[in-house]
Amino acid sequence: PKYISQFRQSVKHDAEKNKAQWKTMGPAKVAVPCPKNFLKKHSKEPKLPERKKKQDSEKLPALSVPPRTYHPVTGIQIKKNFINTNAVAAVTALPKKPQPISVDRRQGDKYLLETSGLVPKYIKKKDYGVTPKYVTEKKENLKRAQKEREASILEHLKKTAMKQLSDEERKSLLQGLKKNWEEVYREFQCLPIQTDTIPKRLYKEKLELQMKQLEHDIEVIEKHKVIYIANE
């Protein structure tokens, strides 16, 4: 038998119920704008808020002008003779000391000596010639860092069980390396002049590599007086 859904009747009912809403695009009735509300010029420009009037308390203070009824005190006479006092003060006054100047051109351009940098002011200071505090602190920090580094190296050598070679062991090692180099060199001299086969060429390259390695080891041991080796 053909399958029939149990929701067939409800779907059909809902489709018939909402069928009228599909007949139009959008709502059926739309409010028509009034023709008087048309777009006016400069209507969309931002408007500044209205300026508020200043209150009486915010006004500028009144000028201190004396009133009309003000009468200054008059009629006071001073018996001091200003001419005589000024003459006496000018006679008894000490002459001004001229400021020291410096002239650096033949045209006579003058500059104050104090601000010219020629006056030895700084040598009169208490801390003149004394090493600054930050320099001494920096040197102490460098010494402390060097000691810590040396201590860490010694500790690392102790952890890795490094042993220092004595002078006799170093000399015997150097002699052994030189002896090995002489043996390899002797074998290298015994090679034929023409290496026309692959085994001869490979053997020659092997001897050259051994000689280079031995020369490098000899140079390192002769350059460094103190040598550490790991205990096996």
Answer whether residue 123 is part of any domain. Answer: no
Task: Flag whether 25 is in a domain.
Answer: no
What's the rounded mean pLDDT across residues 68-95?
89
Residue-wise pLDDT for 129-151, tens only, equals 888 899 999 999 999 999 999 88
Identify residue 220 by its one-letter amino acid code.
V
Residue type, 15: A
pLDDT at 197 (0 to 100)? 85
pTM beyond 0.85, yes or no:
no
User: What integer pLDDT is reported at residue 157 of this predicted model?
Assistant: 72
Q: How confident is the model at residue 100 (pLDDT cuts 50, 70, 90)?
A: confident
Residue span of the structural domain in which 218 resides: 163-229
pLDDT averaged over the chain? Answer: 83
Q: Is residue 184 part of a domain?
A: yes
In a domain, 33, yes or no: no
49: in domain? no
At 112, phi and psi to the nearest 5?
-65, 135
Residue with tokens 């509300």: 37
Beta strands (DSSP E) in 49-116 are 101-103, 110-112
Q: Which helix (H) or strand (E) holds 14?
A: helix 8-17
Residue 94 resides in a domain: no
Residue 93 amino acid letter = A
Q: Tokens at residue 226, please?
A: 């103190």
Using pLDDT thresholds of 50, 70 and 90, give the confidence band for residue 19: low
Give, as one character, the DSSP assignment of residue 186. H
Structure tokens at 22: 């599909």
pLDDT higher than 60, residue 64:
yes
Determine, yes or no, domain membership for 171.
yes
Paired strand residues for 228:
164
Residue 211 placed within a domain? yes
Polymer length of the chain: 232
Question: Structurally, how many domains does the chain consist of?
Answer: 1
Tens digits of residue pLDDT in 187-212: 888 888 777 788 888 888 898 999 99
The share of the chain scoring above pLDDT 90, in percent, equals 18
